[in-house]
Amino acid sequence: MDLWQPHRVYFEPAAKDTTVGKRVQQYCKENNIPILETTSHNQVRGIPGEDEKAKYAAAKKTLIVGMKRSLKFDVCRPSADYQFSLMTNCPGTCEYCYLFTTQGKKPYVRVYANLDEIYDTIDKYIEKKLPHATVFEAASTGDPLGVEHITGSLRDTIIHFGELPKGKLRVVTKYSNVDSLLDIPHNNNTRFRFSINSNYVIKNFEHNVSNLWDRLRAAGKMAKAGYPLGFIIAPIILHENWKQEYKELIDELHHQIGFEEKSFVTFELIQHRFTMNAKNIIEERYPNSKLEMDPEKRLKKWGKYGKVKYVYPKDEAQEAKEYISNLIQEKFPHGHIQYFT
């Protein structure tokens, strides 16, 4: 898969003189990408497109380099203590994407250039929890590897965490361009996770991300580079033939990284869920989507802030949990299933 390339890049003025800002300007120069200015991502004007669909597509090809203003980190359970953002939104266009309900009609890919301030904040959060370690998730608001070839921010962040005895970083990705991360001093402080899924889910619902084979090959490279490794199987969808396809997935994963099976590989299992708001947006954006979102077939569950989400009925979810957990335990006896949700 070709790496994502924006069609236009907007800079907030303060971002231009930062290390990330300079890297992005260099990238634009080398690739003939127009550079524009904006005071804030809310003020971006002039995105082309005759209708909403075209405007959405053009926004997905727009990069904004700005400063992260709010430096208060949200809690991030169950995967970490806190989450912070190197970027917001994502070059990918997965039909089930969890970002739909937060990105509105203008899903510009936004990257943050004030890394020093973000790192200072991380260090302060760690200090507050000493002598215990603090775990941070860096991929809750987008997939940072999707823009790494433009910003280099993830590499810098992994190096920063490499110097923090009590700071642990967790990243998750559907991309495979890991080469720039292989030779850096991560000091085992970054757990690098790959989001993987059955062939049916990847083929029908994941677009503009790396294919499964590339992700698995990238996982093999990261394992060889000594990174603690993890896999997120999400969203688990109980499609026709799901048992066979998830079995093939775990078999293939074992085939690719089995040589590392004595190391401590983590697994996170997340069943498909949706809110009515997300369902409406997805149906508007992907009118022919095969994504099953019939509330009648699901169980209502109250989430954070009183929001209702729809998950699989208890017996179906339990069956998926047991079946996939057994597959993992069989092939990865040293692996650790962290949760099924």
Chain positions contacting ligand SF4, by CB under 6 A: 90, 92-94, 97, 99, 142-143, 174, 209
Between CA 305 and CA 301 the distance in angstroms is 12
Pairing of strands 109-112, 87-88: antiparallel
Distance CA 200, CA 186 (A): 34
**Residue 4 gets which letter from DSSP?**
P
Q: Which is nearer to ligand SF4, 143 or 148 (CB)?
A: 143
Is the separation of the CB atoms in 65 and 108 below 8 Å? no
Q: Kindly state the smallest distance separating residue 174's Cβ from ligand SF4, in Å.
A: 4
Q: Which C-beta is closer to ligand SF4: that of 9 or that of 97?
A: 97
Strand order in the sheet with 109-112: 35-37, 8-11, 62-66, 109-112, 87-88
The smaller minimum CB distance to ligand SF4, of residues 167 and 235, is found at: 235
In whole angstroms, the minimum distance from the beta carbon of 182 to ligand SF4 comes to 21
**94 vs 126 by CB, closer to ligand SF4:** 94
Q: How far apart are CA 341 and CA 338, in angstroms?
A: 10
Residue 312 contacts residue 292 (beta carbons within 8 Å) = no
CB of 87 to ligand SF4, least distance (A): 10
Rounded to a whole number of angstroms, the minimum distance from the CB of residue 323 to ligand SF4 is 23
State which residue, 126 or 278, has the beta carbon closest to ligand SF4.
Answer: 278
Closest separation between CB of residue 99 and ligand SF4, Å?
Answer: 5
